[in-house]
Amino acid sequence: MFQITRSEKLADKIYLMEVKAPRVAHSCEPGEFVIVKMDEKGERIPLTICDFDREAGTVTIVIQTVGASTERMVELKAGEYFQDFVGPLGNPSDFIKEDPEELKGKKYLFVAGGLGTAPVYPQVKWFHDHGLEADVIVGAKTKDLVILEEEMKAAAGNLYVTTDDGSYGRKGMVTEVIRDLVEKEGKHYDVCVAIGPMIMMKFVCLLTKELNIPTIVSMNPIMVDGTGMCGACRLTVGGQVKFACVDGPEFDGHQVNFDEAMKRQQMYKTEEGRAMLRQAEGDTHHGGCGHCGGEE
């Protein structure tokens, strides 16, 4: 059992939970995720790691309620428990393997959209903890949906907040801020890391390709099972079949086929769609989820 040590609502349908999980906290790195199960009847839910404290043995996750399982999950209070908290899973961000001294010669831009702010934060914090500065753009639909702003301010070199409706910070999409920073303010970036809704990451990548900025994206939004068995997070990267949960979740954004991934994500939600995918993908279709018969 894994005790919840902190639970709070960040915004509408978005909740933060700090969980006592010493082994996970000891090993996890930015970019990785955990699988959380509320109880023996609960759904297994993959969630990216928002923060961790190795000394305290805690891991922070951010949950958006999208169905019955997550609705039940966020009702838990501090002092209550999750039955399972498995991780870390996936591959950590590539930059943690680099020498911090060499990273000082590179300028990173982190772009967070909506809930994507949660997985971006530990990456920006890693930079800060290693004496590195990075620019950060946080985008949300409205002011009320901006999360982790103070935490991000403390870790970022420069923080730019933008809202679709202009209710806070700049007005417009994150892509408009990127273009303004590069073309109007003369900023230069060696690497962009973009995490958020699929459509946001797609358009960020279209722009950064135009601006010649190598870009990393996290495909965690399409994960379902989190172990490579269900096939929900199958995608094409540079013409090759990959699975976000075992091969990623981070990939070269300029190589990801976003249109295919978004179409497949919608099809996977229905029984008929899963049957069509199974037929089209043949032996490369994974079916360990138990929904589509691929495990037989």
Report the C-alpha gap between 15 and 74 in whole angstroms: 7
Residues 98 and 183 in one domain: yes
Query: What does the block give as tokens for 245?
Result: 């949960």
Give this prediction's pTM: 0.84
Supply the range of the domain harboring residue 82.
Answer: 2-89
Residues 144 and 244 in one domain: no
Question: Are the beta carbons of 129 and 100 closer than 8 angstroms?
Answer: no
Residues 125 and 72 in one domain: no
Q: Is the pLDDT of residue 154 over 50?
A: yes
Residues 107 and 207 in one domain: yes
Condensed to tens digits (0 to 9), the pLDDT of residues 225-274 reads 666 666 677 888 898 888 888 888 899 999 998 888 888 767 655 444 44
Which of 101-105, 117-121, 140-144, 226-230 bottoms out in mean pLDDT, i.e. has the lowest?
226-230
Report the C-alpha gap between 16 and 249 in whole angstroms: 21
Nearest to 90 by CA among 191, 227, 197, 217: 227
Mean pLDDT taken over the chain: 86
Cis before 22 (ω within 30) = no
Residues 115 and 153 in one domain: yes
Report the C-alpha gap between 83 and 37 in whole angstroms: 6
Nearest to 237 by CA among 251, 217, 224: 251
Residues 130 and 187 in one domain: yes
Q: How far apart are the first and last CA of the chain?
A: 32
Domain end, chosen from 218, 242, 267, is at 218
Nearest to 177 by CA among 225, 129, 135: 135
Q: How many domains does the chain have?
A: 3
Domain end, chosen from 45, 71, 89, is at 89
Contacting residues for 241 by C-beta, under 8 A, at least 6 apart:
234, 235, 284
Question: Are the beta carbons of 236 and 229 closer than 8 angstroms?
Answer: no
Residues 109 and 204 in one domain: yes
Q: In this structure, what CATH number is given to the domain that contains residue 64?
A: 2.40.30.10
pLDDT at 132: 93
34, 45, 244, 215: CA torsion to nearest 10: -70
Can you list the alpha helix ranges (DSSP code H) found in the chain?
22-27, 68-73, 100-103, 117-129, 149-155, 174-179, 198-210, 244-247, 258-268, 271-281
Residues 177 and 211 in one domain: yes
pLDDT at 230: 65
Residues 193 and 250 in one domain: no
Mean pLDDT in residue range 124-137:
94
Nearest to 241 by CA among 292, 280, 191, 290: 280
Q: Is the pLDDT of residue 277 over 50?
A: no
Residues 172 and 242 in one domain: no
Query: What does the block give as tokens for 22?
Result: 């010493």
Condensed to tens digits (0 to 9), the pLDDT of residues 205-230 reads 999 999 999 999 998 877 776 666 66
Residues 7 and 77 in one domain: yes
Q: Is the pLDDT of residue 110 over 50?
A: yes
Q: In this structure, what CATH number is given to the domain that contains residue 125?
A: 3.40.50.80
Residues 228 and 212 in one domain: no
Domain end, chosen from 45, 68, 89, is at 89
What is the amino acid identity at position 1? M
